[in-house]
Amino acid sequence: MKPQPTCPTNERYTCCKPCRESTCLSTGLLPKCAGPCKGGCICKNGYIRVINNGRCVLPSKCSSTFPFKF
């Protein structure tokens, strides 16, 4: 069995991650994946991505002037 990957700060590994995660620009329900599940790192509960494939932050850190000030 392969060792579980190490995830960045505020993220955790899951064996079946969503196609997309909520971001500072798009929160709420996300479309379901079409295809098999893949493992990977996702934001821990209570955190969202700054942008797709960006770092995970608390929602209060999302700026109304995103992405210019953070």
pLDDT greater than 50 at residue 70: no
What six digits make up the tokens of 7?
């995830």
Tokens 């079946």 found at: 16
Domain 1-26+36-61 has CATH 2.10.25: yes
| Single pTM value for the model | 0.74
Place of tokens 């932050």: 57
Can you read off the two tokens belonging to residue 61? 């850190």
Q: Where are the domains of the chain?
A: 1-26+36-61
* Mean pLDDT within 61-69: 59
Residues making up the chain, counted from first to last: 70
Residue 40 has pLDDT above 80, yes or no: yes
CB atoms within 10 A of CB 29: 6
Q: Examine the pLDDT at 55 and tell me if it is beyond 60.
A: yes
- Check pLDDT > 80 for residue 69: no
